[in-house]
């Protein structure tokens, strides 16, 4: 999927993007759950609902990735880190911002 080609865990810093990625995974899970364990037909009983849910998740993820302000989101999230690991992560990410081509 082109929406997930360059999207890694480091890119998901905004809550909107995080939510959209979870919706996409949930849509995939619903589609897989709708598959029959054995069948002579290739059709799914719940196919229209599962496909619609997945299509919606893809559209929302695409919209979220085009509107994310990665650098400003990262700066906001790093203002009050909850522990030393988060502080270290924030420091490294903000130092690497010029080389990672963060938007914002």
| Whether pTM exceeds 0.85 | no
- Annotate the chain with three-state secondary structure: CHHHCCCCCCCCCCHHHHHHHHHHHHHHHHHHHHCCCCCCCCCCCCHHHHHHHHHHHHHHHHHHHHHCCHHHHHHHHCCCCCCHHHHHHHHHHHHHHHHHCCCC
Question: Per residue of the chain (104 residues), what is the pLDDT tens digit?
Answer: 555 555 555 445 554 555 566 777 787 787 777 777 777 766 666 667 777 887 887 787 777 666 656 677 777 777 887 888 878 878 887 777 655 554 44
């Amino acid at each position: 999927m082109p929406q997930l080609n360059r999207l890694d865990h480091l890119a998901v810093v905004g809550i909107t993007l995080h939510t959209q990625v979870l919706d996409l995974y949930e849509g995939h899970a619903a589609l897989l759950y709708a598959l029959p364990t054995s069948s002579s037909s290739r059709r799914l009983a719940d196919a229209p609902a599962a496909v619609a849910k997945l299509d919606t998740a893809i559209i929302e993820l695409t919209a979220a990735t085009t509107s994310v302000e990665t650098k400003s989101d990262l700066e906001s999230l790093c203002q009050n880190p909850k522990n030393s690991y988060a502080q270290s992560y924030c420091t490294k990410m903000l130092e690497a911002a010029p080389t990672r081509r963060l938007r914002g």
